[in-house]
Amino acid sequence: MSHSIAQIRDNTTRARHLMQRSRQQNFAVGAFNIDNQETLIAIARAAQKTNSPVLIEVSDGEVEAMGLENVRDLVDNYKEEYGVEMYINLDHSPTVEGCKKAIDAGYEFIHIDISQANHDASEEEIIAKTKEVVEYAMFTGALVESEPHYFGGSSNLHEEDIDYEEIKKTFSTPEGARAFVEATGIDTFAAAIGNLHGKYPVPKELDIELLKHIRSAIGCQISLHGGSGTPLHYFEEAAKVGVSKININSDMRFVFRTTLEKVLADNPKEYAVVKLMPTVYEAVQKVVEEKIAAFGSAGKAI
């Protein structure tokens, strides 16, 4: 069901207040990807159990699979059923058109990522298209997030080690962050400080000192993508520094698949798969609760 403009603006105002609270109270909000209803149930139950605000996010492929309006309706339904503070984030949208559609559908958070589709996109193109989304979002009040260059990795299980000497070449700088924020007017800057999309065989290492310098350089919110596979103490430190949003995907996907494989193997004669799914989303829920505890967002919902 489509939202009225008044409803959308009320939701985005609440979303903006959440980001303000996160800065004032030094916690980060978890942004958790979904590509099925079971994962959404797991996140909603974790949010209810911990009394934590959460963002449900969908990437371009997940939108294509589930439907932009369908995701809006599902989130609204579970938000009401579980009585939780829950918003939607469009994650890494590669086009201005996709962002505009999500804004029209009432998504409270919009991530425009031109370099996702074109890794060689110029800074001028990225800035121009990001500004277009920022201006369009003013009508509903949706918060816009972006970054000035391609962010590495993929939301999958990787077998290779992390080449940090190569990754450091793409780290954000305080000066670059300030210039990009001033040029675009974004609400949230996606920082690169060692965070990397996907789950790797070695733990990720975040440069917290660099994060502190970036925090001092810009006044808007800061997000961290690629949170899966990161030692939890980094999240605790990042939240204290002033990160407001942390994205999690691969950790949930890994637990979802491995748990499902085990449940299917243990029940070879059960063809009503829906009967097996509670074990799966209980496992995913534990992952979400673990992240919420590290982010410091438990008990912060309104």
Interstrand relation of 221-224 and 188-191 (parallel, antiparallel or unpaired): parallel
For 121, phi and psi rounded to 5 degrees? -60, 140
Q: How many Å from the N-terminal Cα to the C-terminal Cα in the chain?
A: 24
* Whole-angstrom distance, CA of residue 112 vs CA of residue 20: 21
Q: Please identify which of the residues 91, 113, 207, 251 carries the catalytic annotation.
A: 91
Rounded to whole angstroms, the Cα distance separating 17 from 141 reads 12
Phi and psi angles of residue 289, each rounded to the nearest 5 degrees, phi first: -60, -40
Beta strands in the chain (DSSP E): 29-33, 54-58, 86-93, 109-112, 143-146, 153-157, 188-191, 197-199, 221-224, 245-248
Contact 75, 44 (CB under 8 A): no
> Strands 29-33 and 109-112: what pairing?
unpaired
- 52: nearest Cα among 251, 213, 292: 292
Residue for token pair 């469009």: 90
113 is catalytic: no
Question: Amino acid identity of 188?
Answer: T
The one-letter amino acid at 87: Y
- Residue 245 contacts residue 295 (beta carbons within 8 Å): no
Question: Do 254 and 199 contact (CB within 8 A), yes or no?
Answer: yes
Maximum distance among all Cα pairs of the chain, rounded to whole angstroms: 60
Show which residues are catalytic. Answer: 91
